[in-house]
Amino acid sequence: MNSFTHSINSVNFPFILVTLNIPIHARWENNGLTVAGGHEEGKALNELNLNCPCSLFVDADQRMIIADGGNDRIIRRRMGDTREQVIAGGHGEGNKLSQLNSPSDVLVVQNMNSLIICDRQNRRVLRCYFHSDTISGESLVVNIDWQLSHPEELFSDTLCNIYFVDFLNYRRRKWQRQSSKSIQSS
């Protein structure tokens, strides 16, 4: 089984391992550098027009993946480039697999060439696969009987189980790989 790691300060979670080697006497600039957005909200596909960006993920190829919540899309942009590409959503607000409604988080699964997306207002968690220039998707966790409310904050473990916060139900949920349902996580 392939495993993926995502790390914050070298504490491993599945997906991409990021090791930070920050010298003990490092100094930081007083002003940060804007890498995307920063001007006015908008829908145009360029760095000046994000609308409520909720999540940022940098993949192994140094591409930023941004959950542009107010524009109901996930975009990708190479570091230092000004061109962006819609890789999920972008077809207006809606609940079809080709549409999103306020995505709140995104993770990249490099080895499976896919994204995991918290689609907040649609109350679902999606997996989107990349096949050359096309994207196909599936719902991993959907709002059955209104039991899922505002999924946010994705994580995964070494067994490729997906964890997320079921925000308005005040709980964490776990979607087990090869399963058709999610369970409450302790």
Give a yes or no: residue 78 inside a domain.
yes
Domain presence at residue 135: yes
Query: Is the Cβ–Cβ distance between 72 and 89 less than 8 Å?
Result: yes
Residue with the larger pLDDT of the pair 7 and 118: 118
Average pLDDT of the segment spanning 158-163: 78
H/E/C letters for each residue in the chain?
A: CCCCCEEECCEEECCCCCCCCCCCCCCCCCCCCCCCCCCCCCCCCCCCCCCCEEEEEECCCCEEEEEEHHHCEEEEEECCCCCCEEEEECCCECCCCCCECCEEEEEEEHHHCEEEEEEHHHCEEEEEEEECCEEEEEEEECCHHHCCCCEEEEEECCCCCEEEEEHHHCEEEEECCCCCCEEEEC
Residue 23 domain flag: no
* Residue 49 within a domain: yes
In a domain, 32, yes or no: no
Tokens of 142: 């959907």
Q: Quick one: pLDDT band at residue 159, thresholds 50, 70, 90? A: confident
- 56 within domain boundaries: yes
The pLDDT value recorded for residue 152 is 80
For 78-135, write each residue's pLDDT tens digit. Answer: 887 877 888 889 888 998 888 999 999 998 877 667 788 989 898 888 888 776 554 5
Between CA 78 and CA 80 the distance in angstroms is: 6
Q: Give the residue with greater pLDDT, 113 vs 1.
A: 113
The pLDDT tens digits of the residues spanning 46-61 come to 555 788 888 888 887 8
pLDDT at 172 over 90: no
- Say which amino acid occupies 161: N
Distance CA 168, CA 148 (A): 8
Which neighbouring-strand residues pair with 114? 109, 129
Q: Is residue 21 part of a domain?
A: no
Count: domains in the chain: 1
- Res. 11 pLDDT band, cuts 50 70 90: very low
pLDDT 10s digits, 135-145 = 555 565 555 54
CATH of the domain at 141: 2.120.10.30
Q: Is residue 16 part of a domain?
A: no
For residue 174, the enclosing domain spans 37-185
State how far the Cα of 110 lies from the Cα of 113, in Å rounded to an integer.
5
* Cα(39)–Cα(61) distance, integer angstroms: 26
